[in-house]
Amino acid sequence: MQGRKKIKNFAVHLALICISFIIAFPFLWMFTNSIKTKDEIWAVPPKVLPAIAQWGNYADALADGTFLRYMWNSAYTAIIITVVVLFNSAMFAYALTHIRFRWKKLLITLIMVTYIMPATTTYVPSYVILSKMGLMNSHAGYVVSSCASIFNIFFLRTTFTQINPGIVEAARIDGAGHWKILWWVVAPMSASSFVTLGLLSFLGCYNSYLWPSLLLHNKTQYLVSMGLQSFFTSEGAYGLKWGTIMAACCVIVFPLLLLFLIGQRWILNGITNDAAVKE
């Protein structure tokens, strides 16, 4: 019996190691290619490590400061959108959970229908609205058009429904209004869910490409994904500097990996809806 258990544990750990390697391999390959010459990148058979590390690829990627500006554009717009989205989603989710009003079920159904629609179906009407508001080719237009998230609303609603109703009722008896109950009682009990959604929202905005590329045409307004795309077009199809491109990718990915490492405990708790155990 013990022998079977050991074999099973070994098989599980081996499978997890293999899966982890498969997930990590693209990042390792990206990093090793970022310090190779172009010939080493295209070498057959491929070389795992370069003969001499080409750290100059990173200097080339950040040479004129333009790419850092793109990263800043992505970072600050993503932060603003994340804060606004969490604020709006929390209020909406609280209303759907702890406030009674007519047609609430119908509203939830309409939101659900909106959620299953592809995001691209909203691009044309959003484009027309922003155009009439004079917000085209500006970060303000991008922020305004991204300040609501159906997924966040439903995620927080699920978390809020798992909080003991007696706690909310006790706060109401003590004289707390909806505003205080939301931000002083419900939100602190759902902190992990807020952190999880904050990270997911930030990553989604930071990596966004299609919608910003339709709105932003001035190079000074470019986000980092659009700036990375410029590496593929500036030198033509046969002049791609793959070492520089991979270095730029590493620069983009590093802060995101750091965020995940810092917030991984909160993410796990948020995904499992830790508020469910707070009776």
pLDDT attached to residue 169: 87
CATH number for the domain whose boundaries are 60-277:
1.10.3720.10
Q: What is the pLDDT of residues 11-66, one digit of tens each?
A: 888 999 999 999 889 999 999 999 998 888 888 888 888 888 889 889 888 887 78
pLDDT attached to residue 276: 46
Q: Which phi and psi (to 5°) does residue 41 adopt?
A: -65, -40
Helix axes 191-206, 150-161, angle to 10 degrees: 170
User: What is the Cα–Cα distance from 51 to 48, expressed in whole angstroms?
Assistant: 10
pLDDT attached to residue 272: 63
Specify the DSSP class assigned to residue 183: I
Specify the DSSP class assigned to residue 120: G
Q: What is the pLDDT of residues 199-240, one digit of tens each?
A: 889 999 998 998 999 899 888 899 998 888 877 765 554 457
Q: What percent of the chain has pLDDT over 70?
A: 92
Looking at the predicted structure, is the pLDDT value of residue 82 above 90? Answer: yes
Q: What is the pLDDT of residues 245-257, one digit of tens each?
A: 889 899 999 888 8
User: What is the Cα–Cα distance from 26 to 249, expressed in whole angstroms?
Assistant: 11
Q: What is the pLDDT of residues 130-146, one digit of tens each?
A: 999 988 889 999 999 99
Looking at the predicted structure, is the pLDDT value of residue 277 above 50? Answer: no
Q: What is the pLDDT of residues 149-174, one digit of tens each?
A: 888 998 898 889 888 888 888 888 88
User: What is the Cα–Cα distance from 245 to 277, expressed in whole angstroms?
Assistant: 46
- CB-CB contact of 184 with 168 (8 Å): no
For the chain, which residues make up each domain, given as ranges? Answer: 60-277
Residue 138 CB-half CA count within 13 A:
9
